[in-house]
Amino acid sequence: MWNPDTGQVQLTGGRGQVLFNQAIAGLSAPQDVELTGRVVDVFAKAGANLEHDAENLALGAAVSASHAASGTSAAAAVNGTTVNAPIWSSAGSGNTSDWYEVEFDGTELVDEVRLYFYRDRTANGLSAPASYRIEYHDGADWVNAPGQDKSPAAPRANYNKVKFNEVGTERIRVVMDHQAGHATGLKEIQAYYTAEGGSSGPENVALAAAASASYTSPWETITAVNDGIDPPRSNDTANSRWGAWPEEGEQWVQLEWTSPVTVTSSDMYFFDDNGGVRVPASWHIEYLSNGTWQPVNANGSYGTAPDQYNSVDFDAVTTTGLRAVLQSGAASVGVLEWKVFT
C-alpha cells in the first residue's frame, strides 16, 4: 500500500522490494479514490457495477423465455459474464416480440435492470431490439414496471440500464420487440434493488396501451407510436414509425387499455419526411366515454411543430380509450411517438 502523503510503501506480508517511492502532495490514497463518470460507464459496459453495492438478484436465478434459438439458452444470460458467448437468442421464434423471464427465490424488491444485448453485425442476424419494456408479475398478471427511465432511450448493442419505481415481486421479465429482419440476442441481464427508484415524473401509460389507426401504410407499423423510443428528429429513418400515406384528410391514432386509466396530459411527436408525410394542419384529442368519443377539455393549444414533442395539458379524464384526430394539410400525416401521462 502506497501513502501519497509520505511516499512510504507498505508491502503485503512484508515481502518484496521497493525500487522507487515518492510523496505526491494532494493526491488521494488508493482506498479514497472515488470512481465516477466515464470510468464508471466503461466498467458498466464490461458488466461491472461501480455505482452501488446492491446484490445482482438475477445472477444464477431460474430463468425461462418464450423461445431459445438452437445453440443458445436462457441460463446463458444470468451466468455473470457479458462476453459474446454463451448468449440467449430469439432466432427462429417467428415472433415480432419475445420475452425473457427471471424468477427470484421468493419475493424481492427491484428497481433497476441492466441488459446487455448482442449484435453479430450481419445483415439479417442478431441485434438489439427496436424497443423493450420491463414487466413484473403482481401475483395475477404481468404489468409494466412503473416509471421506467431508460438509458439510452433507444436500445443499443451491449449495455442498457433502466431504472423504475420499486416493485416487490417474485418474477420480472423483459419484453423485446425485434427490429425488422433481425432476432434479438441477450448476453446478460442484471437486476438490483438500489432504493433510488425510477422517474419521479408522471407515468407514461401509453406504454401499456394497444395502438390502432384509421389506416397504416403497409411498410409502416402502428406499434411504433407507443414503443417508448424518443425520436432524434421528425424525419427519423432509424426507428419504426406510423404513417398513413397516401391517405389524406382526417386520420386518427388510438390507444386502448384493458382497464380504465386517469390521464391529464399528452406529448405528441409527429413524423415529417418533408415529402409525402408532413405534420398535420391541426389535431385534437378525444376520449372514450360511454361508448362514444368526446373531445378532452384542453388547457392550451395543440402544437404542430416538427422535431420536438408537442405537449398539451387537459382536464383529467378516466377512460379506456384515447384518440388523436389528425387533419392533414399539404400531404399525409404520421406519428413517431405518443406519450400520455397520469
Give the pLDDT of residue 34.
62
pLDDT of residue 200: 59
CATH topology of domain 62-192: Jelly Rolls (2.60.120)
- E-only strand ranges, the chain: 62-65, 88-89, 97-118, 126-127, 131-137, 142-144, 149-151, 158-177, 183-192, 210-213, 242-243, 250-270, 282-289, 292-295, 310-327, 334-341
Contact 313, 280 (CB under 8 A): no
Region of 154 (left: φ > 0; alpha: ψ -120 to 50; beta: rest) is: beta
pLDDT at site 223: 94
How far, in Å, CA of 47 to CA of 26, rounded? 32
Name the least confident of 34-43, 151-160, 171-180.
34-43
In the predicted model, what is the mean pLDDT of the chain?
91
pLDDT for residue 40: 72
| Between 50 and 297, residue with greater pLDDT | 297
pLDDT tens across 269-308, in order?
999 999 999 999 999 999 999 999 999 999 999 999 999 9
Residue type, 273: D
pLDDT (tens digit, 9 = 90+) per residue, 249-270?
999 999 998 888 889 999 999 9
Which residue has 452501488 as its cell numbers? Answer: 52
Tell me the C-alpha distance between 162 and 271, whole Å: 26
How many residues in the chain? 342
Helical segments of the chain, H only: 38-45
Same fold, 62-192 and 205-341: yes
Distance CA 240, CA 245 (A): 15
With 70 as the cut, is the pLDDT of residue 31 above it?
no
Q: Which of 36-50, 58-72, 233-247 has the lowest mean pLDDT?
A: 36-50
- What average pLDDT does this structure show over 42-49? 80
pLDDT > 90? residue 115? yes
Mean pLDDT computed over 87-106: 96
State pTM to two decimals: 0.58
Q: How far apart are CA 51 and CA 40, in angstroms?
A: 7
- The three grid cell numbers given for residue 340, joined into one nine-digit string: 400520455
Distances (CA, A) of 249 to 213, 266, 333: 14, 23, 9
CB atoms within 10 A of CB 335: 28
Reading the block at residue 288, the C-alpha cell is: 372514450
Cβ-Cβ contacts under 8 Å for 92 (sequence gap 6 or more) = 67, 69, 70, 183
Of the ranges 121-125, 219-223, 283-287, which one carries the lowest mean pLDDT score? 121-125
- Name the CATH topology of 205-341: Jelly Rolls (2.60.120)
pLDDT digit string (tens) for 313-338?
Answer: 999 999 999 999 999 998 999 999 99
The residue ranges of every structural domain in the chain are 62-192, 205-341
The pLDDT assigned to 17 comes to 83
Rounded average pLDDT over 78-102: 96
**Residue 313 pLDDT:** 95
pLDDT class of 221 with cuts at 50, 70, 90: very high
Question: What CA–CA distance (Å, rounded) separates 135 from 176?
Answer: 11
Q: What is the mean pLDDT of residues 206-223?
A: 94
* Residue 205 DSSP label: G
Residue 214 has pLDDT above 70, yes or no: yes
pLDDT at 201 over 90: no
CA distances from 167 to 59, 151, 197, 341 (A): 18, 19, 9, 20
